[in-house]
Amino acid sequence: MQDLIILGTGVHGGEMAHIVERINRQQPTWRLIGHIAPSPTDRTVFAGHPILGLVDVLAAYPGAALVADNEFPRNIPLPEERLISLVDPGSFVHPTAHIGRGCVIYPNCFIGLNAVLGQRVFMLSGCIVNHDNRIEDRVVLASGVILAGCVQVEEGAYLGQSSTVRQYLRIGRNSLVGMGSVVVKEVPPQVVVAGNPARKLRDK
């Protein structure tokens, strides 16, 4: 088993600790040694595991793999070669799909034929990423997001809970799709859209 550190002490960091347990029940893989806090805290324990300190203490654990929750600050540089992905054993990943470093896949997700996920994609429970989708780095898919085939989601986009995207569309860089939205046309970069059909509400 390899040592593992979770970067984050929020709700999702706690849930990720349980995903580690679920993975280890299937096949012993990770020894979770603790969490890294994104900012100073008086707490010493989180989700049953020690809070090791801030990101500067990672040098004391050179052999530990790392995985970050979706709220861990993006401006904190992380050693990419140490990032691993957590895929809950209750999710389906097609053998032709590619999952980049640092991704987190919650239970009951579907990742289809030839789908590609970049680095640090965070996918909450019940998401469907159909065939030939391309999801770039640091995208967040909230619970129940459905992407039809051949959708491209650019870096830093956030898709809200239960939103749906029609096939062959692009979701622009750093855009936000509101919860429950039905996206039937391309979403430009740096905008907020919502509704059925989704329409632009404002620039982000």
Active-site residue numbers? 131
Listed residue (39, 68, 69) closest to 54, CA to CA = 39
Instruction: Using DSSP, state whether 82 is helix, strand or coil.
Output: helix
Give the span between the Cα atoms of 201 and 77, in whole angstroms.
32
Give the span between the Cα atoms of 83 and 13, in whole angstroms.
15
Q: Angle at Cα 192 formed by Cα 188 and Cα 193, nearest 5°?
A: 85
Listed residue (108, 94, 105, 100) closest to 81, CA to CA = 100
Give the span between the Cα atoms of 106 and 124, in whole angstroms.
5
Burial of 77 from C-beta contacts in 10 A (0-12 / 13-18 / 19+): exposed
Give the span between the Cα atoms of 156 and 147, in whole angstroms.
16
Radius of gyration of the chain (CA): 17
